[in-house]
């Protein structure tokens, strides 16, 4: 019983860390990467679809993204969605593809992005701690129902703390890696 609780809690924590890494990949660092725009939603025939489902996204140069729609009629929609996003990028539509030149980051913008990274990391740490709390409550319930002895409860709680520490360290590392990437000029 305790193993199921630990396993499910660890799985949720792992997904939280993976979600953070995915989220941090969308933060612009001055280098072109498809992750910058693939999450941008395009209103296509009444449905909101991510760009990566409507077009191929490639890196032509270190600071140039090329978006090649599979259906040429979506090119204006893609351009409009990128302009409407909060990325601060200006797409150039040549009729066949959309090119996005990634401008260098100013020091002020770097600091804003670093603060954003810290905020997102802290939000994920709180989420992990909440998962730990939920797991501890579940273990306590199992002990109350006599499905778990006191010793088993203490061992499982100690294991849960180790799992939590590991995932908190993972979020910290993801944040440090992104911060290092943002500080590079």
CATH 3.30.1360.40 fits 34-101, yes or no: yes
Structure tokens at 137: 């409550």
| DSSP assignment letter at 41 | E
Please provide the DSSP assignment of 59-126 as one string: EEETTEEEEEESSGGGHHHHHHHHHHSTT---EEE-SS-EEEE-PPPPHHHHHHHHHHHHHHHHHHHH
| Topology (CATH) of 2-25+106-183 | Topoisomerase I; Chain A, domain 4 (1.10.132)
Domain positions in the chain: 2-25+106-183, 34-101
Phi-psi group of 64: left, alpha or beta (phi > 0 → left; psi -120 to 50 → alpha; rest → beta): beta
Q: Would you give per-residue pLDDT tens digits along the chain (185 residues)?
A: 788 899 999 999 999 999 999 888 877 777 778 888 888 888 888 888 888 888 898 888 878 889 899 888 888 888 888 888 877 778 888 888 889 888 877 888 888 888 989 999 999 999 999 999 999 999 999 999 988 899 999 999 999 999 999 999 999 999 999 999 888 76
Q: Which helix (H) or strand (E) holds 174?
A: helix 150-183
First to last CA, the chain: 51
């Amino acid at each position: 019983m305790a193993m199921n609780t630990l396993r499910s809690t660890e799985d949720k924590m792992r997904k939280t860390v993976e979600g953070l890494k995915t989220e941090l990949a969308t933060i612009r660092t001055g280098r072109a990467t498809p992750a910058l725009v693939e999450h941008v939603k395009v209103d296509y025939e009444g449905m909101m679809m991510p760009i990566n489902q409507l077009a191929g996204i490639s890196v032509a140069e270190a600071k140039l993204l090329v978006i090649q729609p599979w259906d040429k009629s979506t090119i204006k929609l893609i351009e409009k969605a990128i302009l409407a996003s909060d990325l601060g990028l200006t797409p150039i539509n040549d009729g066949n593809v959309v090119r996005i030149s990634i401008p260098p980051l100013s020091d002020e913008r770097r600091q804003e992005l670093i603060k954003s990274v810290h905020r997102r990391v802290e939000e994920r740490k709180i989420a992990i701690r909440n998962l730990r709390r939920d797991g501890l409550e579940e273990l306590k319930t199992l002990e109350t129902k006599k499905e778990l002895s006191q010793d088993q409860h203490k061992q499982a709680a100690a294991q849960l703390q180790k799992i939590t520490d590991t995932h908190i360290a993972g979020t910290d590392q993801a944040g440090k890696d992104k911060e290092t990437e943002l500080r590079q000029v």
